[in-house]
């Protein structure tokens, strides 16, 4: 039985949420990733900003140069997560087989949904309309027999797109697209393909499996399959995140130990909140440190018992940071990452001493933050840290 996959991808998600919530930003170049400074990178740019050549991962300094009148906003991850949950609730109303890829995109296997909700094309249109009506946002939808084609289809129609690739149309749909649209084809591989006269997916499809293997090794076999629209990857429902992290790029490089400690505390708090929101615990805590000369170092420690509280994550992160050889250099970026994620056991050992009281306290703090914002309550050191350092925060 052939599968039917839908790929839903929100259009300029973070920037679109900001424009929706502040109508004065509509039709203006909005760049999410910084608040007036030039450190860090662009997280998302509105389509108005993209006309200036701005794209995600671009240094903010370059974005300011390309669009000096652009509206630069900080990342508000808690708000985007809340909207993402609203989108997810729409998607799972059609099938439990939903695989989130990030906050703003997901795959749905609707093969078994037709009897209840109609065919995939009907479901795809309903999803787009509901996102528009209920959330006042636009999404691009791709429908195809597999994940690979569904994603290319949704990208092909952006923004506000709706593209269907029916069974039997795979090769024709791919034929004229550039080879860069294939997963794994980066700049180096694309350049080599160009030298071989292989600029489109159709030109790749015209080559035999054996010839592609000779030219590109084992990857050549994968190229042969993809160029013919073949992909057997399954939709994995509710895939658990591999890690949760928050990081900060300072406006001015920092060498003050107390400021760095306070920043690590704030980042640890944000990681712990995400863990509890997603009902996860972490067995491994790590730190990321980037120096002024762009040297980047990582340290991590695997714990005896999993954790999800501010204090425990911070104590490990601070201990790890102290092992990093700064050699008198200033710090440009700090990050805290939690990995080795799993569902918490029925009773965590870390709450064995006055644990229930600690759990209730954390729950109360989380409720206050949900209602009034993350900075409404925290360590006493946080407010001072915020005054001392302006920063750009990203999330994975």
Contact 348, 358 (CB under 8 A): no
Do 370 and 250 belong together in one domain? Answer: yes
Residue 264 lies in a domain: yes
- Can you tell me the distance from the alpha carbon of 17 to that of 15, in angstroms, rounded to the nearest whole number? 5
Strand partners, 394: 247
The 10s digit of each residue's pLDDT in 137-179 is 999 999 999 999 999 999 998 999 999 999 999 999 999 999 9
Do 215 and 248 belong together in one domain? Answer: no
- pLDDT tier, 373 (very low <50, low <70, confident <90, very high otherwise): very low
Do 324 and 384 belong together in one domain? Answer: yes
The 10s digit of each residue's pLDDT in 35-52 is 545 667 899 999 999 999
Taking the mean position of all CA atoms in its chain, how far away is CA 27? 24
Q: Residue 147's closest CA among 220, 202, 98? A: 98
pTM, rounded to two decimals: 0.65
Do 216 and 247 belong together in one domain? Answer: no
Q: What percent of the chain has pLDDT over 70?
A: 84
Show the domain range for 38: 13-76
Q: Is the pLDDT of residue 343 over 70?
A: yes
Q: Is the pLDDT of residue 10 over 60?
A: yes
Do 310 and 345 belong together in one domain? Answer: yes
The 10s digit of each residue's pLDDT in 219-265 is 899 999 999 999 999 998 865 567 888 888 887 889 999 999 999 99
Show Cβ contacts of residue 177 under 8 Å, excluding neighbours closer than 6 positions. 152, 156, 200, 201
Strand partners, 299: 287
Total residue length of the chain: 396
Q: Of 76, 96, 125, at which residue does a domain stop?
A: 76
Residues catalogued as catalytic: 105
């Amino acid at each position: 039985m052939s599968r039917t996959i839908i790929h839903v991808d929100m259009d300029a998600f973070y920037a679109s949420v900001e424009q929706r919530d502040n109508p004065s930003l509509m039709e203006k170049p909005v760049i999410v990733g910084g608040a007036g400074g030039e450190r860090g990178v662009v997280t998302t740019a509105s389509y108005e900003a993209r006309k200036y050549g701005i794209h995600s991962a671009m240094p903010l300094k370059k974005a300011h140069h390309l669009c000096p009148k652009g509206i630069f906003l900080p990342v508000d991850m808690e708000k985007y997560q809340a909207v993402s949950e609203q989108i997810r609730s729409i998607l799972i109303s059609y099938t439990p087989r939903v695989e989130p890829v990030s906050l703003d995109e997901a795959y749905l296997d609707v093969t078994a949904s037709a009897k209840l909700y109609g065919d995939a094309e009907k479901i795809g249109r309903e999803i787009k309309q509901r996102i528009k009506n209920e959330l006042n946002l636009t999404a691009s939808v791709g429908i195809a027999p597999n994940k690979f084609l569904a994603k290319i289809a949704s990208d092909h129609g952006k923004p506000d797109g709706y593209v269907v690739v029916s069974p039997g149309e795979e090769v024709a749909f791919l034929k004229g697209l550039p080879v860069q649209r294939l997963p794994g084809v980066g700049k180096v591989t694309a350049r080599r393909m160009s030298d071989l006269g292989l600029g489109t997916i159709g030109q790749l499809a015209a080559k035999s499996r054996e010839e592609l293997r000779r030219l590109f090794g084992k990857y050549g076999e994968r190229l042969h399959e993809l160029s013919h629209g073949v992909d057997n990857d399954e939709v994995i429902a509710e895939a658990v995140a591999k890690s949760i992290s928050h990081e900060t790029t300072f406006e001015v490089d920092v060498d003050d130990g107390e400021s760095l400690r306070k920043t690590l505390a704030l980042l640890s708090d944000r990681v712990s909140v995400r863990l509890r929101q997603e009902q996860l615990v972490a067995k491994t805590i790590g730190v990321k440190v980037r120096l002024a000369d762009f040297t980047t170092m990582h340290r991590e420690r695997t714990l005896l018992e999993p954790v999800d509280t501010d204090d425990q994550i911070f104590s490990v992160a601070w201990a790890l940071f102290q092992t990093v050889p700064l050699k008198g250099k200033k710090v440009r970026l700090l990050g805290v990452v939690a990995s080795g994620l799993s569902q918490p056991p029925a009773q965590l050992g870390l709450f064995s001493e006055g644990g229930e009281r600690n759990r209730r306290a954390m729950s109360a703090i989380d409720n206050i933050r949900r209602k009034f914002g993350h900075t409404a309550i925290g360590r006493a050191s946080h407010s001072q840290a915020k005054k001392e350092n302006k920063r750009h925060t990203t999330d994975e």
